[in-house]
């Protein structure tokens, strides 16, 4: 199975629905697979595949337990990215940049993002963030990922995506994507996000604006802090593709 000439999602994604879900819940799922089962399997197989002509597709490997991140491991892709990973990063960025710009305006921030991912990466690289951040994650029975934020430097794109490569009906149980939302002067809210194979979830990297009134606060827009992780895998194995749009320093 080749990962060249990747297909684009069909039918096209409903970005109005996705934007509304992000506004209401802080997470939105595509509702349809972005990748078919064969492409998911081919991507997952890269994790343990021997380097092609001596060149590994990855730049580093992280064992979570060594750093207190949880249990399981992940590998960051090297440049050049696999074609399908590059295509997803390029295609998802423009509508997410529009959402990020609207969120910034709602929060009273002047920050905006370029229209294309190539332009944004040029800004990251000029700031010294040149290492690619898309990654493959692998979990086995008993593994989990602690709540965290994917911050790698001063340049942070506010939204990211994760695509489930394994089949939850066949390959594993447990291992749900979990997000928490820390609201000012309120208890944190949790969201569990089920996904089908090839489907993507989109969520904030670290913050999002919320319309309303915090406890003992004035009505208007306020900022909440977001974190994400993965609950304990009860059986089987689970592979996930993470699409982060800023590069690392």
Concatenating the DSSP letter of every residue in 160-189 gives: EEEEE-S-TTTTEEE--EEEEEE-TTS--E
- Does residue 26 register a pLDDT over 90? yes
Structure tokens belonging to residue 69: 């991140």
Say whether 97 sits in a helix, a strand or coil: helix
Residue 227 confidence (pLDDT)? 94
Who's near 52: CB < 8 A, 6+ residues apart? none
Q: For tokens 């078919």, what's the residue?
A: 36
Residue 210 confidence (pLDDT)? 84
Cβ-count burial 25-52 (b if 16+ within 10 Å, e if not): bbbbbbeebbbeeebbbbbbebbeeeee
- Does residue 9 register a pLDDT over 80? no
- Does residue 189 register a pLDDT over 50? yes
- Does residue 162 register a pLDDT over 80? yes
pLDDT mean across residues, the chain: 90
Residue 2 confidence (pLDDT)? 43
Residue 161 confidence (pLDDT)? 98
pLDDT over 70 for what percent of the chain?
A: 90
pLDDT in tens, 66-117: 999 999 999 999 999 999 999 999 999 999 999 999 999 988 889 999 999 9
Residue 187 confidence (pLDDT)? 81
Q: What is the mean pLDDT of residues 165-185?
A: 92
Residue 53 confidence (pLDDT)? 65
Q: How far is CA 187 from CA 61, 190, 209, 214, in A?
A: 35, 10, 17, 11
């Amino acid at each position: 199975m080749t990962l060249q000439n990747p297909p684009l999602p069909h039918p096209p994604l409903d970005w109005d629905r996705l934007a509304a879900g992000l506004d209401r819940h802080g997470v939105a799922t595509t509702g349809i697979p972005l990748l078919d089962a064969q492409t998911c399997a081919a991507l997952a197989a890269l994790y343990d595949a021997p380097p092609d002509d001596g060149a590994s597709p990855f730049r580093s490997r992280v064992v979570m337990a060594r750093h207190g991140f949880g249990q399981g491991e992940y590998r960051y892709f090297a440049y050049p990215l696999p074609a399908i990973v590059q295509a997803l990063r390029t295609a998802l960025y423009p509508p997410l940049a529009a959402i990020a710009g609207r969120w910034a305006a709602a929060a009273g921030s002047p920050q905006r993002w370029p229209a294309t991912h190539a332009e944004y990466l040029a800004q990251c690289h000029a700031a010294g963030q040149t290492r690619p951040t898309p990654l493959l994650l692998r979990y086995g029975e008993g593994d989990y990922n602690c709540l965290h934020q994917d911050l790698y430097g001063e340049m942070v794109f506010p939204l990211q995506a994760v695509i489930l490569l394994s089949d939850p009906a066949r390959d594993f149980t447990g291992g749900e994507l979990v997000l928490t939302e820390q609201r000012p002067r309120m208890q944190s809210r949790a969201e569990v996000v089920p996904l089908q194979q090839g489907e993507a979830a989109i969520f904030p990297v670290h913050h999002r604006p919320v319309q309303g009134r915090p406890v003992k606060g004035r009505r208007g827009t306020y900022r909440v802090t977001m974190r994400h992780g993965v609950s304990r895998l009860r059986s089987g194995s689970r592979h996930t593709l993470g699409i982060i749009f800023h590069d690392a320093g």
